[in-house]
Amino acid sequence: MARPDLPAGPGFNPFHSWLFINQPKRYYAWLRRRYGEAVTMKTPGGAVVTALTAEGARQALSTDPNTYDAFQKEAFTGLTGLGSLWVLDGARHQQERALLSSRFSSHHCRGYGHAIREITRRHTDSWKPGQPVNAYEAMLDISLDVILRVIFGADRGGVIDEGRRALKTLLHVAHPLIAFLPTFQRWWFPPWRRYRRAKRDFAAFVTRCLAERRARDEDSGDVLGIMLSARRHDGTSMRDDEICDELITILLAGHETTAVALAWALYEVGRHPVVLARLREELQALGPEPEPDLIVKQPYLGAICDETLRLHPILTEVARTIRLPCELLGYRLPPGLAVAVGISAIHQDPSLYPEPDEFRPDRFIERKYSAFEFLPFGGGHRRCLGAHLSDYEMRIVLATIVTCWEFAIVGEEKEVRHSIGTGPKHGVRMRMTGRLPAATSSLTAASRA
């Protein structure tokens, strides 16, 4: 028989809230040690039963999708709009995911490989030996151009310049409090006023793009074109405001998360010279200008990216609101309650990852982990839609930088919450110490051409 009561957990207090925001990894490690496989976390929005083990993740994420509703629906509606995948449910959610998934599939991502490498080189070729670089800010610029290329079909010109400005402003004013607590989505909270202005500017930019695309009447095959040509089961098309809501969701979710992952990857390989040397050896064995599809298949490169996402998960948890009664780890959970999977706790489980605080890429070569043991992109029917693109982009960008540049990491880093996810507190400070000879030769040849 399932128990009708809930797992034990800490009461709500300001110190726990501070830890959750400022030291999420430490907080989840403590929760797992103190409460075991599940914990009930008290939040301003109500209780959240959180699974802290891979088995708990399997049970929570394998349940019939109709059991769950979107989590923090009011807060995310304010952040992105009623047409966002973050807040849609049921058949509408399934239709929207099916509509967009083709442009983010692993097969389709392979078509962006050369563009990702070219965008990376365009941004990094201007670096100079001795120059300080904030990895997070630099990777944001690269990731932004990649996602704009995928959505709008171009990465140069006035349209992209305007989109880059609008989105960067929107991202920088997305305060964590407005992302999680609708109480702060009010006129009296300055970050909310700034976010509303930035959101209106982005909506105006999208409206102009839609008008220009309709005037050209062409099928470009990018995400914007797919949205314009899409028809639902009842024959209706997506309204402009619905397209804008989905674009905000895709851009906020897919832009910063990939940039954060890349910043952490540079941080770790920069602090582990043996790892970096082995990675360069693997990549240099491919010869000059290898095909992007060949690069992403390299096992040690993949292991480094996976270990980075394990040690520094951008999403420390994923949550749902229970719609129908369900069971989790022997507890019977009622409708209206929230259930979550503590990704950070699972990624730090020493029974899965010995010495979990150590950066050890070889663990992903020595063992294959299940989708409930390693879940940096969440799981179930709401798994991150852009997971394939993010993974593909991360590998190509990292490979491009480490084969072109020598660099040193300056100072220590730790995780803090940015908006929805976490990131490095200081942005990963680097100093470029020199361009690698092969990269210098390639740059000289390119300039002569």
What CATH code is carried by the domain that includes residue 239? 1.10.630.10
Domain membership of residue 117 as a residue range: 14-448
Residue 3 falls within a domain, yes or no?
A: no
Local confidence pLDDT in tens for the 449 residues of the chain: 566 689 999 887 778 878 887 888 889 999 999 999 999 998 877 889 999 999 999 999 999 888 888 887 888 888 888 888 888 887 787 877 877 777 677 777 788 899 999 999 999 999 999 999 999 999 999 998 888 888 877 655 666 778 788 888 887 787 777 877 788 889 899 989 999 999 898 888 888 888 888 887 666 667 888 788 877 777 778 888 888 888 888 777 777 889 999 999 999 999 999 999 999 999 999 998 999 999 999 999 999 999 999 999 998 999 999 999 999 999 999 999 999 999 999 999 999 999 999 999 999 999 999 999 999 999 888 888 888 889 999 999 999 999 999 999 999 998 887 767 788 999 999 999 999 986 554 544 444 34
* 8: in domain: no
In a domain? residue 426: yes
pLDDT of residue 72: 79
> Any bridge partners for residue 423, and if so which?
416
Q: Into how many domains does the chain fold? A: 1
For position 157, what pLDDT does the model report? 60
- Within-domain flag for 6: no
- Residue 7: inside a domain, yes or no? no
- Give the model's pLDDT for residue 445: 44
> Quick one: which of 384, 341, 371, 393 has its CA closest to 97?
384
CA dihedral angle for residue 259, residue 260, residue 261, residue 264, rounded to 10 degrees? 120
**Structural domain contains residue 9:** no
Cβ atoms of 130 and 431 within 8 Å: the answer is yes
- Would you say 250 and 390 are in contact if contact means Cβ atoms under 8 Å apart? no
Amino acid 444: pLDDT: 46
At 449 the pLDDT is 41
Which helix or strand (DSSP H or E) is residue 118 part of? helix 113-124
The residue type found at 288 is P
Alpha-carbon distances of 269 from 344, 363, 440, rounded to whole Å: 21, 15, 22
Residue 174: per-residue pLDDT: 78
Q: Which amino acid is at 47?
A: A
Q: How far is 378 from 387, CA to CA, in rounded Å?
A: 9
185 closest CA partner among 86, 79, 81, 88: 79
The token pair at 86 is 């973050």
Task: Tell me how crowded residue 422 is: count the other CB atoms within 10 A of its CB.
Answer: 26
- The answer to whether 222 and 159 are in contact (CB under 8 A) is no
Nearest to 42 by CA among 13, 6, 74: 13
Coil, strand or helix at 341:
strand
On the 0-12 / 13-18 / 19+ scale of CB atoms within 10 A, 247 is buried
How far is C-alpha 230 from the geometric centre of its chain's CA atoms?
A: 26
Which are the contacts of 253, defined by CB distance < 8 A and separation ≥ 6? 384, 385, 386, 420
435 forms beta bridges with 405
How long is the chain? 449
In a domain, 147, yes or no: yes
What pLDDT, on a 0 to 100 scale, did the predictor assign at position 108? 74
Residue 358 C-alpha from the chain's centroid:
22
Question: What was the pLDDT predicted at 96?
Answer: 79
Q: What is the pLDDT of residue 158?
A: 66
For the chain, what is the radius of gyration of the CA atoms?
A: 22
2 occurs within a structural domain? no
- For residue 114, what pLDDT is reported? 93
